[in-house]
Structure 1
Amino acid sequence: MSHHRAIAAVFAVHGAVAGTLATRIPWIEHRLDLGPGVLGLALLCPSIGAFLTMPTASRLAHRIGERPAVRLLIALWCAVLILPALAPAPGWLFAAMLLYGAAAGTSDVVMNGHAVNVERHLGRSIMSGLHGLWCVGSMLAGGVGVLAAHARVDARIHFGLVAAVLLGAGLLAGRSLLAHRTAADAPAPRRYTLPNRAILGIGLVGFCATFAEGASADWSAVYLTEVAGAGPGVAAASFTGFMAFMAATRLAGDRLVRAFGPVRVVRYGGATAALGGVLVVTARTPVPGIAGFALIGVGIATVLPLVFAAAGDRGRTPGEGVAGVATITYLSVLTAPAITGWIAEGLSYPAAFTVITCVVAVMALSAGRLAVTMPAGVGPAAGPPAGSPVAAESAATGEPASR
């Protein structure tokens, strides 16, 4: 298995774990007899766990090595999947979801940091496609979860079987990950990584994208029901369409980046998402509303992968840069649904999505922060920059830095 396919498999496994839990939340809610408030608090716990632990992930990768860190944290991510289903009471569920979020966030950081190094090794953009495969893994696992729910399979059995399969797949893929070695003079990441000014600028772009994504994913069905008069089936389909368009765009995103560069891709994507926001705000029937959410999905799809790639190049180490941006984007995930709800309740649903339209416009205007400065004559496919960890590895081993 090539290094590219190995990290692609890791991304798909990561997405599959997330998709598996998402489809069985109603089972957990029914088993523990949770009210909306308690369930909402439980669903907030993963983001809190991730937000608190992600800044430590790059330190772990530096200490034990990047490939072992990816393998360890993906294995942990698969293993904790079953914990929410085993929780006997709400307090235990909160603890399980915090652990679930911690494993999700730290594995997210190290696999994206590793993907930056694989991208350098290959000398071409692959990050958008990897995130597209994450979406594919999530949707496929979600489909399995829907079938399991219809068949009334106990979630403890469902999660246990899925976790075992995904654990095996993750460990198998981990054997073929790039054996990246940190350069001897590379600085050790800080114990708790906070973003520097350059990462904050890149993080602003990511914050805008994830804000629009979180708000659209959580509120699209409600918006279409309350504002556009859609029935439950049509409203639910809007979320599926939103995710499907995001996945398809991410899978094509690397070709777009190679053709136009990251700045123009994000800038035009922001314009597309803003157009989608205008359609949503003005929609009074389901069809233009669904089209608007699809355009938002298309417009923001490639942004987060490009933000991670840019952050990996701007941090003291790839993992440290990714950790800083991931902390910012998870803050956006935490706040976007709540802020959207507050605006919708205080003003109106169209007012809430007017704000989201402005957010993606800011994203488009901030796209220049993703610009990569390269020496004259060095193009995107010319391999890793001199002085990078991959270049140092190539010099030490005598092997080419890209294949």
Structure 2
Amino acid sequence: MRPARATRLIFLLSGIGMASWAPMVPYAKQRLGLDDATLGLVLLCMGCGAVAAMPLAGFFTHRFGNRDVIGISGLMVCLALPLLTIAPDVYWLAAALLFFGASLGVVDVAMNAHAVDVEKHAGKPMMSGFHGLFSVGGLVGSAGMAALLKAGAPLTGSALAVSVALLAIVLTQWKHFIVRLDEDGHVRGGGFRMPSATIFLLGFLCLVVFLAEGAMLDWSAVFLRFSRGFDASSAGLGYAAFSVAMACGRLLGDRITAHVGPVTIVRGGAFVAALGFFIATLVPWGPAALFGFVLVGLGASNIVPVLFSAAGRQSGTSAGIGIATVTSLGYAGMLAGPAAIGFAAHLSSLPTALCGVAVLLVIVSFCASIVRR
């Protein structure tokens, strides 16, 4: 089905676009002479741009349909990547990152809303596979950009090469995106409605899961280095183990969801992820920590896709508005969560703070029935 293929490719584009920035960060730091504190503030602009744009993306998809919102925001991502390499000072870099983050945020909401329509049309779970392609895109984007730079390609030229590849995806797939369909295949109408309480609860659950993912990104290496005695060169193994487990779980997730149902995915997945945090923090042995991080990746891998699908199926709210609300709350958790963990670790200890994340995941497990079809 062409819309399904187009959806897979736009998830891949989003992963490639986001991850391509990571190898460019050291170049921006060196070129503009930024210290660590300034760089940290500038990097926050990307997330702030995404969170600020997501509610607008929900309105745009509700008003104009998914096709053009995906296409235009995809073009914006292609434009933003080269701009990041030519910003002449820190203020222009901050502005470029706001634009880049906003573009990715709009793509994120629109592609997930479109994925809900594709799922409805196919009559089977597909969201986990789409998110698996996003994870694959992350690996391809970071590795591809790093390979170009290592081969001696200029920074701006490398960014342009990635942008051209992404542009080809946007231009060839634009016409294959569904505008916006209801149960009978007709374009949905109706005015704007505030999201329901159910949508906000789904958003809270998404916030917790994204907080757990942010904890792995920002704190797993620190935990292994200073709490489990890993040397600095191998402390990154924790996040690598988590990432591989999550990618594998998502690529298999649609079959598992079709077999056991969305409630079991959320209930069991949140419990497994919580168990992973507990094992990593309570068993004072390095390999046990790595095993725990694998469990976190496997358990969390399919919760967010199921939550997005549930948000897009709520009656009385368009898929775009529902997913925009859930996504905004989720990304807010990813942005603010690691800082909250750092504050909690300062008051107690990092293992204790990570145990707190496990307790929140247990709460997610108890709330799993909200995603029942």
TM-score by length of 2: 0.94
> CA separation of 1:80/1:189 partners in 2, compared to 1, >3 Å: closer, same or farther?
farther
| TM-aligned CA deviation for residue 174 of structure 1 | 2.2
Whole-Å Cα distance in 2 between the matches of residues 316 and 181 of structure 1?
A: 13
Distance in 1 (alpha carbons) for counterparts of 2:52 and 2:62: 19
Following TM superposition, by how much is the alpha carbon of 1:152 offset from its aligned partner in structure 2, in angstroms?
4.5
Equivalent-residue separation in structure 2 for 1:64 and 1:285 (angstroms): 54
Aligned residues of 1:340 and 1:352 also touching (Cα < 8 A): yes
Q: Which residue is 1:236 aligned to? A: 236
Partner of 1:160: 160
In structure 1, what is the equivalent of residue 21 of structure 2?
Answer: 21
**Deviation of residue 106 (structure 1)?**
1.0
CA distance in 2, matches of 1:170, 1:237: 34
Name stretches of at least 5 consecutive residues in structure 1 with no aligned partner. Answer: 373-403
- State the one-letter code of the partner of 1:197: A
Moved more, 308-317 or 250-259: 308-317
Aligned-partner residue type, residue 356 of structure 2: V
Among all aligned residue pairs of Structure 1 and Structure 2, give the percentage whose two residues are the same amino acid. 33
Structure 1 residues 109-118 or 309-318, which shifts more? 309-318
- Distance in 2 (CA, whole Å) between partners of 1:58 and 1:354 is 34
> Deviation at 1:173?
2.2
Q: Is the 8 A contact 1:59 1:188 kept in 2?
A: no
Question: Which residue does 2:352 correspond to in 1?
Answer: 351
1:347 Cα deviation after fit = 1.6
- 8 Å Cα contact 1:276-1:296 kept in structure 2: yes
Deviation at 1:292, TM superposition (A): 1.0
Q: Is the 8 A contact 2:70 2:106 kept in 1?
A: no
Shift of 1:179: 4.7
Deviation of the 1:150 alpha carbon? 2.9
- The Cα RMSD (Å) is 1.7
Mapping 1:174-213, distance limit 5 Å: 174-181=174-181, 183=186, 186-189=189-192, 195-213=195-213
Matching residue of 2:327: 326
Q: Secondary structure at the match of 1:189?
A: coil
Do the aligned partners of residues 149 and 283 (structure 1) sit closer, same or farther apart at CA in structure 2, a change above 3 Å counting?
farther
* Residue 151 of structure 1: aligned partner: 151
Question: Aligned-pair distance for 1:145?
Answer: 2.4
Supply the AA of the counterpart residue of 1:342.
F
- Kindly provide the CA deviation profile for residues 79-99 of structure 1, in whole angstroms up to 9, marking residues without a partner as x: 212222211111111111111
| Aligned counterparts of 2:115 and 2:262: Cα–Cα separation in 1 | 16
Shift of 1:327: 1.2
The letter of the residue matching 1:332 is G
Q: How much has 1:282 moved relative to structure 2? A: 2.1
For the pair 1:221 / 2:190, whether they are aligned, the reply is no
Amino acid at match of 1:70: I
Q: Distance in 1 between matches of 2:62 and 2:274?
A: 40
Flag the 1:247–1:184 CA change in 2: closer, same or farther, 3 A: closer
Aligned to 2:361: 360
> Which whole-Å deviations, capped at 9, do the CAs of 1:67-114 have from their partners, x for residues lacking one?
122111112122212222211111111111111111111111111101
**CA 1:74–1:333 in structure 2 vs 1: closer, same or farther (change >3 Å)?**
same
* Most deviating of 4-13 and 50-59: 50-59
Q: Which residue of structure 2 aligns with residue 398 of structure 1?
A: none
* Structure 2 alignment gaps of length 5 or more: none
Q: Which residue of 1 aligns with 2:290?
A: 290
Q: CA shift at 1:195, angstroms?
A: 3.8
- Supply the distance in 2 between the matched residues of 1:233 and 1:46 (Cα, whole angstroms): 28
Return the TM-score normalized by structure 1.
0.88
Q: Which residue does the alignment assign to 2:336?
A: 335
Q: Which amino acid in the other structure matches residue 364 of structure 1?
A: S
Aligned length: 369
Q: How big is the shift at 1:222?
A: 1.2
Cα offsets for 1:262-295 (capped at 9, x unmatched): 0111111111111101111124343111111111
Write the distance in 2 (CA, Å) between the matches of 1:61 and 1:343: 38
Give the whole-Å Cα distance in 1 for the aligned partners of 2:176 and 2:14.
Answer: 17
Does the 8 A contact of 2:49 with 2:100 survive in 1? yes
How much does 1:363 deviate?
A: 1.3
Correspondence for 2:77: 77
Judged with a 3 Å threshold, the aligned counterparts in structure 2 of structure 1 residues 144 and 185 are, in CA distance, closer, same or farther, namely closer
* 1:163-207, Cα deviation, whole Å (9 max, x unpaired): 1111112221223223545656632336xxx64311011112111
Q: Does 1:109 align with 2:100?
A: no
Return the letter of the residue paired with 1:166. Answer: L
How many angstroms apart in 2 are the aligned matches of 1:78 and 1:98?
Answer: 14
Residue 259 of structure 2 aligns with which residue? 259
- The one-letter amino acid paired with 1:365 is F
Q: What amino acid does structure 2 have at the position aligned with 1:278? A: F
**Contact in 2 for aligned 1:187/1:317 (Cα 8 Å):** no
Note closer, same or farther for the CA distance 1:12–1:284 as it changes in structure 2 (3 Å cut): same
- Residues 19 and 138 of structure 1 are in contact (CA less than 8 Å); yes or no, is this contact kept in structure 2? yes
Q: Distance in 2 between matches of 1:289 and 1:25?
A: 29
Q: Distance in 2 between the 1:35 and 1:220 partners? A: 24
Q: Matches of residues 119-138 of structure 1 in structure 2 within 5 Å?
A: 119-138=119-138
2:11 is paired with a residue whose SS is helix
